[in-house]
Amino acid sequence: MGIVVQKYGGTSVADPERIKAVAEHVAFTRSHGNDVVVVVSAMGKTTDNLISLANQVSSTHPGRELDMLLTTGERISMALVCMALADIGIDAVSFTGSQVGIITDTVHTKAKILEVKGDRLREALAAGKVAVVAGFQGVSTDSEITTLGRGGSDTTAVALAAAVNADVCEIYTDVTGVFSADPRIVPQARKLQHLDFEEMLEMAGAGSKVLALRSVEFARNHNVPLHVRSSFTWEHGTWVLDMSAFNAQQSSKENAMEDPIISGVVHETGEAKVTVFGVADKPGISAALFEPLADANVNVDMIVQNTSKDGITDISFTVPKSDLATALKIVNAVAGELGAAGVTHDEAVAKISLVGAGMKTSPGVAAKMFRVLADANVNIEMISTSTIRVSVVVGAANTEKALRTLHTAFGLDSGQAYSAPLPERK
Amino acid sequence: MGIVVQKYGGTSVADPERIKAVAEHVAFTRSHGNDVVVVVSAMGKTTDNLISLANQVSSTHPGRELDMLLTTGERISMALVCMALADIGIDAVSFTGSQVGIITDTVHTKAKILEVKGDRLREALAAGKVAVVAGFQGVSTDSEITTLGRGGSDTTAVALAAAVNADVCEIYTDVTGVFSADPRIVPQARKLQHLDFEEMLEMAGAGSKVLALRSVEFARNHNVPLHVRSSFTWEHGTWVLDMSAFNAQQSSKENAMEDPIISGVVHETGEAKVTVFGVADKPGISAALFEPLADANVNVDMIVQNTSKDGITDISFTVPKSDLATALKIVNAVAGELGAAGVTHDEAVAKISLVGAGMKTSPGVAAKMFRVLADANVNIEMISTSTIRVSVVVGAANTEKALRTLHTAFGLDSGQAYSAPLPERK
């Protein structure tokens, strides 16, 4: 007996057949004695279609109205899932974000959750019902309908799981779990059984699209175990949890030996590189460059500044390609004021990252990575590291070669990342 | 300066182009100094598509979930209309039925309005904004989302018009007004300029589809002038109001002379006739027959019982064709218990009604109607009358002939029903 929160993404409820399959799986989960909270996204392309309609009627999309428009998608899904459950004899009740008490700030289209009341959720579970909740939405402190922005439905699911102290938050999607690399590029990639919250955070930050960074952060902060799995195969997927606590419960010696240094290789091809040449290396230069970018909401990722030579240095950074035009306009202006020698940019780049909790205690990962890439004749343009991640920027044409070579060199092609058993369903 | 409530039906907001046209018309109305409240239906076939989805996922449609599903349609429309208004510089704000305080009873899928709070509506107007409200929906005394059933958006508009004491409630649809007969059948039919609430009620009850009976009743009870017009031509349509009060304001002598006896000929082909033969004419027979029909929610329309002969009589009544199977099952059972001689039914019938406030003071309308039909060789199967309406049931094959002959005979083919000017826009 436990409480299971199940989040179904857009492809998992894309059509009536998929919705019926979801209902069957909810029934299956209940038949094992669990209380179930279901969180749904909008069906398939619904959100895209609504945005297209908005673009057709207007070039002006007030946030309040856009949120009202887009939240209808999840409401349609939740009502249909409840009907499909009723059809197979499961008593279910739907709740909007507002009805379930997801209180947000007042920032339309990207609201942050301030509080989850969840009274009606607990009442429904206590009455033996399945609760079906619209993802992606809440109600602001001003009593207006808000949306949570990208990855919003995952965040709804994690927030509700924390509110009802669920045993697990299952994220159903169109892939079977988190892989050691993108299987479309690295055929030898394998599904990871376990990941630590920190590793998943780094992977999401490095370009993995499976889970939104924000929902992983929320899960880590509230210690909500995540289970990423497919609604097309229903097979067990990848657990994301606090591995140190989990290992402590297991026979620790056995597990310690099995811990791999690297969990996965992640790539990101959606960014472009900008370099400002020949800047004076003195206090305030970086601020002068990056403050106006932040003010313009340009999402700067990697920043690298070399040691200066004769008091002159170069600064490189990456931004999403969609922000490049804005970024160049600002940087060119600032570079002129700073007396920089020039500004260049390159869209044909890829960021390749190695992520693994084992790095903390295993020195030499970065050095090995650089050697492997050098042997494969892949030139490294930028480097950035964190305690459990090493990222490099390489030419986009080298993406596949870099991924496959590193995947093999770090022993990810075969074997298990963790031999520990999956957490027991209570 | 006044307050104008404008209700736009599904065809009026069917696509982005129509929505932009609605926004332009709202701007036009405001440019004449009016405050505007807009009530919208779901776009085109949205509601049908949602019902189709519901049927595909489930044969069980709990009312609460069905209401949640269907109310999304109007929410999409209202957000899009607000965006289109914003695009042309009109400050607009959308409200769901719940947000605007339309409080209903707890009967899902056909809730009745108990109260309209309208605080946010008045605030929006006071702030100089256009209020755009989702039709067809409210919130129950249990705080659940409800829908108002058939004609719900018209009822929303009339209820809001009453709440803000609007000067007029404009109902925009795909026809240019209320006609003296269905123009698809009677080419000489002409648009009526004015109708009394009572006449519109009888016409709606007799089969006219332009306005839902329920919204007309609400308008009469709260004395809300209605203006039925087209969002495709924007020309002036038909006013429905309290004619006696209106005429009292005008030069009464002049108008009295112009008052026609008959305003229109209405037909209804969606009903079937059921006859129970040879029933004993004694107290309780009618109750025995019609109570179980009412219990089964069969919507009985005309009921005719002839004077008995030798203590034996026949009872005929009409029901919607969709209720016929249910009705026959019940009637056959009851007829057996009552010892009736037999039960017959006929689906090939049409109800033809003459409606006109002038009938009250002009005897002989019914007699003239029967003579006209007899001369046209149209056999009359049933007759029923009210103070301002005469209805007959004839064979369906005679529908066109009966309508056209009556339309001509009662002088409806030419001239104006009322020569009075349209009410002045304040």
Task: From chain A, pick out residues whose CB is under 8 angstroms from the CB of B78.
Answer: 68
User: What pLDDT shows up at residue B286?
Assistant: 83
**What is the C-alpha radius of gyration for chain B, rounded to an integer number of angstroms?**
23
**Nearest-by-Cβ selection for A68 from B57, B65, B75:** B75
For residue A97, the 8-state DSSP code is: T
**Nearest-by-Cβ selection for B61 from A53, A62, A83:** A83
For chain B, give percent helix, strand, coil, nearest 5: 40, 25, 35
**Nearest-by-Cβ selection for A58 from B65, B75, B86:** B86
3-state helix/strand/coil string of A156-174 = HHHHHHHHCCCCEEEEEEC
Whether residue A56 and residue B16 make contact (CB cut-off 8 A), yes or no, is: yes
Q: Does A53 touch chain B (CB under 8 A)?
A: yes
Mean pLDDT of A393-422: 79
- With vertex at residue B319, the alpha carbon angle to CA B318 and CA B322, rounded to the nearest 5 degrees, is 150
User: What pLDDT shows up at residue B253?
Assistant: 45
User: What pLDDT shows up at residue A257?
Assistant: 45
Q: Does B56 touch chain A (CB under 8 A)?
A: yes
Q: Does A52 touch chain B (CB under 8 A)?
A: no
**Nearest-by-Cβ selection for A57 from B60, B61, B80:** B80
CB atoms inside a 10 Å sphere around CB A295:
9
**Nearest-by-Cβ selection for A82 from B62, B81, B96:** B62
User: What pLDDT shows up at residue B224?
Assistant: 96
User: What pLDDT shows up at residue B241?
Assistant: 94
pLDDT of A32-73, one tens digit each? 999 999 999 999 999 999 999 999 999 999 999 999 999 999
Q: Does B86 touch chain A (CB under 8 A)?
A: yes
Q: Examine the pLDDT at A178 and tell me if it is beyond 60.
A: yes
Mean pLDDT of A209-237: 93
**Nearest-by-Cβ selection for B60 from A58, A62, A87:** A87
Whether residue B87 and residue A53 make contact (CB cut-off 8 A), yes or no, is: no
Of residues A127, A161, A151, A160, the one with CA closest to residue A213 = A151
Task: From chain A, pick out residues whose CB is under 8 angstroms from the CB of B79.
Answer: 54, 65-66, 68-69
Shortest Cα–Cα distance, B282 to chain A (Å): 48
Q: Which of A157-166, A238-247, A385-394, B295-304 has the highest mean pLDDT?
A: A157-166
Residue of A nearest to B77 (CA): A69
CATH for the stretch A2-255? 3.40.1160.10
Task: From chain B, pick out residues whose CB is under 8 angstroms from the CB of A79.
Answer: 54, 65-66, 68-69
Mean pLDDT of B224-232: 96
Domain assignments of chain A as residue spans, ordered by start: 2-255
Tokens standing for A58? 């207007």
Q: Does A86 touch chain B (CB under 8 A)?
A: yes
In sequence order, which residues have a C-beta less than 8 Å from that of residue A157 and are 6 or more positions away? A5, A6, A7, A39, A135, A169, A171, A215
How buried is residue A303: exposed, middle or buried, by Cβ count under 10 Å (0-12/13-18/19+)? middle
Residue of A nearest to B80 (CA): A54
**Nearest-by-Cβ selection for A19 from B57, B61, B96:** B57
Q: Which of A21-30, A365-374, A379-388, B180-189 has the highest mean pLDDT?
A: A21-30
Of residues B70, B1, B12, the one with CA closest to residue B39 = B12
Task: From chain A, pick out residues whose CB is under 8 angstroms from the CB of B96.
Answer: 68
Of residues A367, A399, A366, the one with CA closest to residue A385 = A366
Best A13, A66, A68 residue to mutate vs chain B (most B CBs within 10 Å): A68
Q: Name the pairing type of β-strands A130-134 and B145-147.
A: unpaired
The more confidently predicted of residues A74 and A413 is: A74
Whether residue A59 and residue B19 make contact (CB cut-off 8 A), yes or no, is: no
pLDDT of B363-410, one tens digit each? 788 888 999 999 999 998 888 888 889 999 999 999 999 999 999 999
Mean pLDDT of A402-420: 75
The more confidently predicted of residues B127 and A414 is: B127
Long-range contacts of B394-399 (CB under 8 A, 24+ apart): B394/B349, B394/B350, B394/B352, B395/B348, B395/B349, B395/B350, B396/B269, B396/B348, B396/B349, B396/B350, B397/B348, B398/B350, B399/B185, B399/B267, B399/B269, B399/B350, B399/B352
In which band, very low, low, confident or very high, does the pLDDT at B126 lie, cut at 50, 70 and 90?
very high
Question: A16-31 vs A63-87: helix axis angle to the nearest 10?
Answer: 60
In which band, very low, low, confident or very high, does the pLDDT at A250 lie, cut at 50, 70 and 90?
low
Q: Examine the pLDDT at B359 and tell me if it is beyond 70.
A: yes
Mean pLDDT of A102-114: 94
B3-255 domain in CATH 3.30.460.20? no
Of residues A7, A265, A33, A31, the one with CA closest to residue A148 = A7
Question: Distance (Å, rounded) from C-alpha A6 to C-alpha A169?
Answer: 6
Task: From chain A, pick out residues whose CB is under 8 angstroms from the CB of B69.
Answer: 75-76, 79-80, 83
pLDDT of B142-153, one tens digit each? 999 999 988 899
Q: Does A80 touch chain B (CB under 8 A)?
A: yes
User: What pLDDT shows up at residue B159?
Assistant: 97
Q: Does B66 touch chain A (CB under 8 A)?
A: yes
Whether residue A86 and residue B20 make contact (CB cut-off 8 A), yes or no, is: no
Q: Does B19 touch chain A (CB under 8 A)?
A: yes
In which band, very low, low, confident or very high, does the pLDDT at B64 lie, cut at 50, 70 and 90?
very high
User: What pLDDT shows up at residue A305?
Assistant: 81
This complex has an ipTM of 0.81
- Reported as type and span, the H/E element at residue A389 is strand A389-395
Least confident stretch, A148-152, A164-168, B175-179: A148-152
Task: From chain B, pick out residues whose CB is under 8 angstroms from the CB of A16.
Answer: 53, 56-57
**Nearest-by-Cβ selection for A80 from B54, B71, B94:** B54
Best A38, A65, A139, A147 residue to mutate vs chain B (most B CBs within 10 Å): A65
Q: Which chain A residues in 293-352 lie under 8 Å from chain B, judged by CB atoms?
A: none
Average pLDDT, chain A: 90
Question: Distance (Å, rounded) from C-alpha B86 to C-alpha B79?
Answer: 11
In which band, very low, low, confident or very high, does the pLDDT at B251 lie, cut at 50, 70 and 90?
low
Of residues B235, B188, B239, B186, the one with CA closest to residue B210 = B239
Q: Does B379 touch chain A (CB under 8 A)?
A: no
Question: Distance (Å, rounded) from C-alpha B197 to C-alpha B204?
Answer: 10
In which band, very low, low, confident or very high, does the pLDDT at A419 lie, cut at 50, 70 and 90?
very low
Q: Examine the pLDDT at B418 and tell me if it is beyond 70.
A: no
User: What pLDDT shows up at residue A287?
Assistant: 84
Shortest Cα–Cα distance, A75 to chain B (Å): 7
Q: SS3 of A281, please? A: coil
Tokens standing for A73? 């998608």
Mean pLDDT of B269-284: 89
The more confidently predicted of residues A29 and A151 is: A29
Shortest Cα–Cα distance, A133 to chain B (Å): 12
Mean pLDDT of B125-130: 97
In which band, very low, low, confident or very high, does the pLDDT at B285 lie, cut at 50, 70 and 90?
confident
Task: From chain B, pick out residues whose CB is under 8 angstroms from the CB of A91.
Answer: none
**Nearest-by-Cβ selection for B65 from A20, A66, A79:** A79
Q: Which of A8-17, A352-361, B335-344 has the highest mean pLDDT?
A: A8-17
Q: Does B72 touch chain A (CB under 8 A)?
A: yes
Q: Examine the pLDDT at A256 and tell me if it is beyond 60.
A: no
Q: Does A396 touch chain B (CB under 8 A)?
A: no
User: What pLDDT shows up at residue A342?
Assistant: 92
Residue A51 exposure: Cα atoms within 13 Å on the Cβ side: 7
**Contact between B348 and B396 (Cβ < 8 Å):** yes
**Contact between A226 and A166 (Cβ < 8 Å):** no
Give residue A65's region: left, alpha or beta (phi > 0; psi -120 to 50): alpha
Task: From chain A, pick out residues whose CB is under 8 angstroms from the CB of B94.
Answer: 64-65, 68
- Which residues is A39 bridged to in the sheet? A7, A133
pLDDT of A263-312, one tens digit each? 999 999 999 999 999 888 877 888 888 989 988 888 888 888 877 778 88
